[in-house]
Amino acid sequence: MSRTLSFQKFYEKLGFSFYAGQIEKNYLIMKNDNVLIGLFQGMFDNNILTFNPGWDENAYKVDPFDDISFIQKELKASGIQLENEVDESTTGPASFALFDPDGNTILIDQHE
């Protein structure tokens, strides 16, 4: 892979290596042991944390897992304000976002 994202070399120095992604589309998923990070250059305006219900740290399906509509209901019941919502009468795939107290975006992104 000749092209790199600006952050790729930094995270390689921290022990992360390429796991998945498409450099030509400006995103990489990097892995260090059981920790995954996503590097998305130019795709989002600010920092973003992503969580993927239904996947483990190797992007393998887990079963059972809490569906995104259940997670959304639990967060709303806890008083968390969401930036956007999923249709709670359906099940994934779907995604919604919220902000942490520092303004970082948190994306809950269910693929299955």
Instruction: Write the pLDDT tens digit of every residue in 9-26.
Output: 888 887 899 998 888 888
Q: pLDDT, tens digit, for every residue of 34-74? A: 888 888 888 888 878 888 899 988 889 999 999 999 999 99
The model carries a pTM of 0.74
Q: Which amino acid is at 86?
A: V
d(Cα 70, Cα 67) in Å, to the nearest integer?
A: 5
The count of other CB atoms within 10 Å of the CB of residue 68 is 26
